[in-house]
Amino acid sequence: MQTVKIGNHIIEKTASLAPMASVADKAMRIMCKKFGAAMVTGEMASAKGLCYSDRKTAELLCTDDFERPMAVQLFGSEPEFMAKAAVIASSYKPDFIDINCGCPVPKVAGNGSGSALMKDIPLLGRIVEAVVKAVDIPVTVKIRKGWDENSVNAVEAAKAAEQSGAAAVAVHARTKNQMYLGRADLDIIALVKQSVKIPVIGNGDVDSAESCKYMYDYTGCDLVMVGRAACGRPWIFSEIRHFLETGEALNPPSAEKQLQIMEEHIRLLCQYKGEYIGMKEARKHTAWYLKGRPGAAKLRNRCGTLSTLLDFEDMLNDIKNSEQ
């Protein structure tokens, strides 16, 4: 298996887990790691939230040694707050600090953070420089293709990140205005790869082992990042690894095994977050896991009402009985 070096870490060139808000928590990261994710990145945390000692923000940074190599991701628009937050975040012992310059949601981009930094490349550079100077672990940056089709500037952003000391840059190949719709533009990942010397991580539309290999081959990127395709399907990482190693497709887990994986994930959620919050989070995860199964539409409605582990166990038993 080929590898890429980011900072002082050697990472296998299979696939990494993308930093998805309200999804890439510790339970999700551990499940993806169990199936061979090359590295994982946690949910984005507010720099100001950390600096003002917000407990919920700090909880996003809790890591487990099993996850390594892993990154924690920060968002913000002020270099001094980002630097202070990075120091706080580094106390949680992540392997990397990742800077979010790609989130398109209004509550983030509307405040000048996330993908709004694609409209102010000098500020993006100052933020990266401030964070790099503040911590002694590698700093990576996640960017987008640009703000919209009239301002495609991923290459400019990647160069600014590199010049400011970033150890790697991840490129989501859509504009902010696209959100998560439309096709990812793999050409922009290839252009960024040709324009900088630091490792480039490609992100967008990888939903299978074959599409992962295609991204590697087409763009020349150093690592591939998988996001939504891992939701309810953490075994995609083992499928990717197997295909890259052998050129052959790996069959997905059996229907029975998928239920076991789902149960393990939901129990981890409750272990880390408590049953009340864990089961609220479980609603979306169970719907993702059960997508495509017999009676999926009815099951999806039931997933939306889960409140206790007993509710989940009852649903699980009913599924098993109906599929016998």
Residue 319, pLDDT above cutoff 90: yes
Judged on CB neighbours under 10 Å (0-12, 13-18, 19+), 183 is exposed
Residues 32, 103, 212, 270: which is the catalytic one? Answer: 103
Helix %, strand %, coil % of the chain (to 5): 50, 15, 35
Q: How confident is the model at residue 1 (pLDDT cuts 50, 70, 90)?
A: confident
Q: How confident is the model at residue 243 (pLDDT cuts 50, 70, 90)?
A: very high
- Predicted local distance difference test score (pLDDT) of residue 58: 83
In the block, tokens 């324009």 appear at 195
Residue 59, pLDDT above cutoff 90: no
CATH superfamily of 255-322: Putative flavin oxidoreducatase; domain 2 (1.10.1200.80)
Nearest to 33 by CA among 74, 71, 75, 88: 71
Average pLDDT over residues 246-273: 97
Angle at alpha carbon of residue 54, lines to 131 and 230, rounded to 5°:
70
- Within the chain, strands assigned E span 3-6, 9-12, 16-17, 40-46, 70-75, 96-101, 139-146, 168-175, 200-203, 223-226
Each residue's pLDDT tens digit, 293-313: 888 888 999 999 999 999 999
- Helix axis angle for 296-303 and 255-290, nearest 10°, is 70
- Predicted local distance difference test score (pLDDT) of residue 294: 86
Each residue's pLDDT tens digit, 177-190: 999 989 999 999 99
Residues of the chain with CATH 1.10.1200.80: 255-322
- Predicted local distance difference test score (pLDDT) of residue 323: 84
In sequence order, the 6+-apart residues with CB closer than 8 A to the CB of 193 are 200, 219, 220, 221, 222
- Predicted local distance difference test score (pLDDT) of residue 73: 97
CATH code for 3-246?
Answer: 3.20.20.70
Of 10-24, 43-57, 79-93, 119-133, which range is least confident? 43-57
- Helix axis angle for 121-134 and 79-90, nearest 10°, is 30
Nearest to 19 by CA among 201, 185, 175: 201
For 251, the token pair is 């069959």
Q: Is 103 a catalytic residue?
A: yes
- Predicted local distance difference test score (pLDDT) of residue 296: 84
Q: Indicate the average pLDDT of the chain.
A: 96
Q: How confident is the model at residue 216 (pLDDT cuts 50, 70, 90)?
A: very high
Nearest to 227 by CA among 173, 296, 159: 173
The residues pairing with 200 across neighbouring beta strands, listed in sequence order, are: 169
- Predicted local distance difference test score (pLDDT) of residue 57: 87
The pTM of the full predicted model, rounded to 2 decimals, is 0.95
Q: How confident is the model at residue 324 (pLDDT cuts 50, 70, 90)?
A: confident
Each residue's pLDDT tens digit, 22-58: 999 999 999 999 999 999 999 999 999 999 988 888 8
Residues of the chain with CATH 3.20.20.70: 3-246
- Predicted local distance difference test score (pLDDT) of residue 37: 98
Residue 13, pLDDT above cutoff 80: yes
Each residue's pLDDT tens digit, 136-179: 999 999 999 999 999 999 999 999 999 999 999 999 999 999 99
